[in-house]
Each structure stands twice: as C-alpha cells, then as structure tokens.
Amino acid sequence: MIGKEEFWDDIKNELSKTMQTISYDMWIEPLEPVCFVDGTFVLAAKTAISKKTIERSYLDQIRDVASSLDSFVTDVEIIVKEQEGEYLKKQSISLPDRGLIVDEKSAKKQEKKTNPFLEKYTFDTFVQGKSNEFALAAAKTVAENPGGKYNPLFIYSGVGLGKTHLLHAIGNFLFKHSPKTKVVYANSENMVNELINVIRGGNNDDSNRFREKYRACDVLMIDDIQFLSGKNSMQEAFFHIFNDLYQSNKQIIITSDRAPKDLPTLEERLRTRFSWGLMVDIQPPDTETRIAILKMKAAHEKFMLSDEVAEFIADNATTNIRDMEGLLNKIIFFSSLANKVIDTKELAYEALRDFIDEKKETLDAETIISTVCRYFSITTTDIFSKKRTKNIVEPRMIAIYLITELLSMPLMSIGQLFGGRDHTTVIHARDKITEEIKTNPRIKIIVADLKNMLLNR
Ligand code: ADP
Ligand code: MG
C-alpha cells in the first residue's frame, strides 16, 4: 500500500473533481492523514465542529473514493487533531466494524481496558418495534447469559437494519456488567483479509496467533458472515474455531444479510452448526418505529424535529435505517447552515430534493418488467409463467436482478410478483446474474443497456 500522504492526495484529487469548490476548500483541504488501522484510513480534522460536519456530509463520499482507489480500505474515520497522539497510542486496539477489537496484547491489559465498542450503539438507543423485537430480546438474553441457551445466535436482515448495532449493544453491556468477559468482534471481511495474509506469509507463528486470537475469548461475534461464502480455506479455519468455542460453552454470535439456507456457497457443515442455536431475523421497521427512531436520534442531536418532517423522512426511507439517518442528518445540517427552521414537509423536500433520487422513486417493477420484455421480444405472460426454457428464464432472472438492484422492494414481494415464487428464487436469480455480469460479457452488456434505458428515460 502507498503512503498515507500520497493516498490522501489521490483522494483529494478525486474529490476536487466532484465537490463544489467552496465545500472542498472549507472541509476537505484542511484534513490531515493520520494512519491506516486495518482497513480504516484515519484523518484528522482541526476542530470537533468540523469533524462533525465532515462526518455528516462528506464522510460517505470520502469513504467511497478511498475504497475505489484501494479496495483494502473499507472505512474512513475522522478524529480531532488534538486527540491524534492519544489515538495513535491506542492503536493496538482495532476499531469496531473493521476487524478485531481485542487482540492478545489488549486482552492482557484488561485492567486498563478501554471500551472498544461504539458507545452510541446500546440497548437503550435501540428502538424496539414489531420488526425487531425477537432479535432484540435474543441479544439481551445472550448479553446477560453468554454461552447459555441461545448458542450460536444467528441474526439476519437486510442492510442498515440494526445487526451491527445489536452486536455493539451486547459488547457495551458486557463491558459494563461483566468486564472480565473477553469479547472478540470481527467483521468477516476483515477476518478473510487477515487469514489471506497469514496464508501468504506461510509463517506458522502467524497462523497460530490467528487461531489463538479467535479461540481465546468468551464471546465471539462475527459480523456479516456472508463474506465467507465461497471462501473455503476461511470456512475451514472458522469451522474449527467454532467447534472449539462451542464445545467449551463460549458464546458465538453471527450476523448475515440472509438466512443460512440462503447462503448457497456456505459449507453444509457450517450451516448445520448455525441451526443448532437460535436464528432470528430483523424486518424493515413499520412507520411508527421509523418515526420513533428519528425522534430519538434527533433528540440526541438536540434538534427539534417536527412531526411533519419526521413523517416526511420516514416515508422516504423505508427499508434502510442508515439511509433514513442520512436524511435526518442532512436536515440538521441544512438548518444549522442556513440557520433556518425546517419544520414543514415542503421545506424538508427542498432540503432533501437532491438526495431523494427521483428517478428511483418513479421507477417501478412494472416498468422494469415491460422494458425487459420489450428488449427480449417476449410477452409479460411469458415472463410471469412457469416456463423454464432458456429464452424465458434468462430475461426473467435479469428482470428480477434489476428489480433488486434498482428498487427497494422486499424479496418476498418480488417473488409474489413473479407468479408466487418464493424469496429464495429471487435471491438465486439476483446472485446468478451478479455472477454472470462478472464472467459473461454478453450478460454484462445486456444489463448495462437495460439499466441505461431505465435510468435515462
Ligand atoms: P446493519 O448492521 O444491519 O447493516 P446497523 O446496525 O449498522 O445495520 O444500523 C444502521 C443504522 O441504523 C445505525 O446507525 C443504527 O444505530 C440504526 N438503527 C437500526 N435499527 C435501529 C433501531 N431499532 N433503533 C435505533 N437505531 C437503529
Ligand atoms: Mg452491519
């Protein structure tokens, strides 16, 4: 990997092409590169206020550019310049969501342990609703009694629905109530990178250290296990760690973007093990819960959120809480920037107009299906039918893929639309076309053509 200065220069160069000059000069230029911690690139802002603004409004963009320049970099973090020294000292502890939290060194230094979990993600800040109550209850039980009856605990849901939040809540709870418990949090993507390095290095010490690190814990959390799909050596390593921990009654908690049975390239023996414990899913929250979440986040920011604006935001982000928070943050940012109260739907719309992708909103499943049918010269009756000939199956899969890509429609409803097929069929079609795009130039072109037709109507 190149040095932090050069890397930051490259990022700035990219950002300057897309950002407005004023914002670029004001927020980006003064940042200074600090270091890389695992896959996280750390930058220092001059003041806490600029840190906050950058996090609210530019972090996503910086992160996207950083990972497009170097796929090893999965996250970007902003710290305040003043705290740089302290931060660098703490570096032996990796940060949440980007790899291991407790390594052997820090585990030994338990007396001086700092809480590595994000403090804002607790059970108290997790709003309970019908869609998540089982997952929340299971997480609480596990936090109170790790290694007890729900082992392993497997939590699955779409993106941005609170899985990582719940893992941190368990971590925070244990840190407070049972500080001796050794908790290891790993993001499976980072775990994979780590193991690849171990294998490449071919060094036995490294490989032992890797195993020890994961085995010497009371609670092991693996976030986003789907990244292990198809990675056989990694699954093998994980399988052994899993068995060791399980046999000694250590708690294992796993999250994934789908149920184990829908992880097609996950080894059967792992899938079987996951089903030994408890599996819970989190559904997208209903309007009431979304509004409650918004109110809580706004109160936390000391922002007066009117009912009207809360409703407006909740209506515009229905399937991903992270996106919904993004909209709220933009409202907060605009009202502080313009020093103006945004308390009606109209004002909220004005502030968010650029972010609510209108094309996406007006695009619907019918349009996608009819466009695909036209493209392949088949009828809509054919595409909805049970016919399994190639000339029908391929357009059907592509249509399903495009719907999952371009709309935020629940997988089950997509299945229903296509003649009552279940959501596994939808996942299969989506994954198949995703794969084909990488390996089959013809499909790649077809999908690009169709996307072009749909998004530039
Ligand atoms: P996932 O890991 O499932 O992709 P996260 O745990 O990262 O999702 O959640 C995304 C964001 O949504 C976080 O900021 C989290 O705090 C918030 N969030 C999700 N569900 C809830 C909830 N029930 N109450 C409060 N905040 C939530
Ligand atoms: Mg997550």
List phi, psi (to 5°) of 221: -115, 125
Gap between the Cα atoms of 204 and 190, Å rounded = 20
Ligand 2 centroid – CA 164 distance (Å): 4
Residue 116: burial class (beta carbons within 10 Å; 0-12, 13-18, 19+): buried
Signed CA dihedral, 79, 71, 37, 171: sign only: positive
In order, the DSSP letters of 305-353 are --HHHHHHHHHH--S-HHHHHHHHHHHHHHHHHTT----SHHHHHHHHT
Gap between the Cα atoms of 8 and 66, Å rounded = 8
What is the mean predicted confidence (pLDDT) over 88-98? Answer: 48
Does the beta carbon of 163 lie inside 6 Å of ligand 1?
Answer: yes
Give ion ligand 2 contacts, CB < 5 A. Answer: 163-164
Top pLDDT among 287 and 359 is at 287
- Does the structure show a pLDDT above 80 at 215? yes
Signed CA dihedral, 112, 198, 214, 267: sign only: positive
Does the beta carbon of 293 lie inside 6 Å of ligand 1?
Answer: yes
Q: Supply the residue whose CA is at minimum distance from atom 16 of ligand 1.
A: 165
pTM over 0.85: no
Residue 219: name the closest of 282, 255, 167 by CA: 167
Q: Per residue in 30-84, pLDDT tens?
A: 999 988 887 889 999 988 888 988 998 899 999 999 988 887 788 899 999 988 8
Gap between the Cα atoms of 329 and 256, Å rounded = 27
